[in-house]
Amino acid sequence: MLSKRKINKVKLLNNKKNFRLDKFIEMALFGNNGYYLRKKPIGRKFDFVTSPEISQMFGEIIGVYLVYHWKEKINSKFNLIELGPGNGTLFKDIERTAKILPNFFENANVNLIEINKELRKIQVKNLNYFKQSKIRWSKALNFTSKLPSIIYSNEFFDCFPVRQFLHDNNNWFERYVKFNEKENKYYSINKRVISKKILDYLNKYKRQKIYEVSFSRNKYFEKICKYLKKNRGICILIDYGYNEKIKNFTLQAIYNHKKTSIFENIGQQDISSHVNFDELIEIAKQNKLQINEFVSQRDFLIKYGILERKKKLLTKNSNLNKNLLDEEVDRLINVDRMGKLFNFLVVSNL
């Protein structure tokens, strides 16, 4: 638990009596001293391990997919954009794979979108073999280029703050956060929703009793869709999420590989939520994009050859440990591990 002085340093709009859940999350993740501005979160030694960190095969399969689409549908100068590259591992594996077609990187304007200064330093270090002049780092996506784009992300959209609503006794309530000065801790309260605009929006979800939404995530994705519609391109979004009604809220906090309360270790722990893919698909459709894929991580990786890739790696290199590779692939595709919870959504205008 942080000391009171430290909690205040996280600058949680603490002059207000209470504030919306998404504002609390935003401050805890992206405010001064927020988690994503200063922590090194990814890796076995840190808070969580992501798919690219589990096996090089993950990035290789995506690399082949990207190169194929570029060759078939773009085959000219383009923007290659990764959202939230973490340690740069996925980019590294894609880059190595894409060498099968040298024109790919010769034509690419590489743009890595990263908000975290510490991670950016790690990316610069890990990608130092690649001509650095070819990579541009930015904190936010800018939509000024007129070139077609290939945009991809793994575990980026789960970082957006959410709002939570509860339907009870013919009323909708929203979860807010309050600070208890005496006990020096945060806790949740429910406030009745009175905004007509929000009530009109929520009434579609009455039957499911709860509704969790990230308006900022949906808005971000909508901007991408509009950009692709205008300038052509493809977006591959990989994340954990759902496309059916949920029975429980999905917001979670992870500290050192363990689930915790969002009110603990503020600024020191990851807070994320499952992506509502139904909403993203609807946004893509409204913007007249094609839905190329919406499948589980397991189905995508198998369809595009992870099992064959594993065999090839083992045949080519007898020093590789078969059990280790089996374990890595199992972790990625087993339905009880990451295979089902993670999804690939691919939308395009090509």
Ligand X SMILES: C[S@@+](CC[C@H](N)C(=O)[O-])C[C@H]1O[C@@H](n2cnc3c(N)ncnc32)[C@H](O)[C@@H]1O
**Residue of 10, 67, 119, 213 interacting with ligand X (CB under 6 A):** 119
What SS3 class is residue 167? Answer: strand
Binding segment (CB under 6 A) for ligand X, from list 8-16, 108-116, 206-214, 299-307: 108-116
Site for ligand X in 78-107 (CB under 6 A): 84-86, 90
Is 52 one of the binding residues for ligand X (CB under 6 A)?
A: yes
Tell me the two tokens of residue 262.
């969002």
**Residue of 56, 111, 154, 349 interacting with ligand X (CB under 6 A):** 154
Binding segment (CB under 6 A) for ligand X, from list 46-54, 173-181, 195-203, 283-291: 46-54
Alpha-carbon gap, residue 135 to 82, rounded angstroms: 11
Choose among 171, 160, 173: nearest CA to 276: 160
Is 155 one of the binding residues for ligand X (CB under 6 A)?
A: yes
Is 35 one of the binding residues for ligand X (CB under 6 A)?
A: no
Binding segment (CB under 6 A) for ligand X, from list 109-117, 127-135, 258-266, 302-310: 109-117
**Residue of 65, 70, 78, 156 interacting with ligand X (CB under 6 A):** 156
Alpha-carbon gap, residue 278 to 271, rounded angstroms: 22
Least gap, CB of 172 to ligand X (angstroms): 28
Would you say 85 or 165 has its CB closer to ligand X? 85
Alpha-carbon gap, residue 177 to 217, rounded angstroms: 21
Cβ atoms of 88 and 127 closer than 8 Å: yes
Is 116 one of the binding residues for ligand X (CB under 6 A)?
A: yes
Is 34 one of the binding residues for ligand X (CB under 6 A)?
A: no
Is 36 one of the binding residues for ligand X (CB under 6 A)?
A: yes
Cβ atoms of 333 and 301 closer than 8 Å: yes
**Residue of 22, 26, 93, 114 interacting with ligand X (CB under 6 A):** 114
* DSSP per-residue letters across 138-156: ESS------S-EEEEEES-
Is 53 one of the binding residues for ligand X (CB under 6 A)?
A: yes
Residues in the chain: 350
Angle of CA points 271, 90, 331, to nearest 5°:
70
Distances in Å between the Cα of 274 and the Cα atoms of 6, 150, 256, 289 are 29, 24, 19, 23
Is 50 one of the binding residues for ligand X (CB under 6 A)?
A: yes
The single-letter DSSP state of residue 71 is I
Least gap, CB of 155 to ligand X (angstroms): 4
Least gap, CB of 78 to ligand X (angstroms): 20
| Torsion over CA: 324, 49, 278, 291 (sign) | negative
Q: Which residue is nearest to ligand X (CB)?
A: 84
Alpha-carbon gap, residue 177 to 21, rounded angstroms: 6
Contacts with ligand X by CB under 6 A lie at 36, 42, 50, 52-53, 84-86, 90, 113-116, 119, 154-156, 159
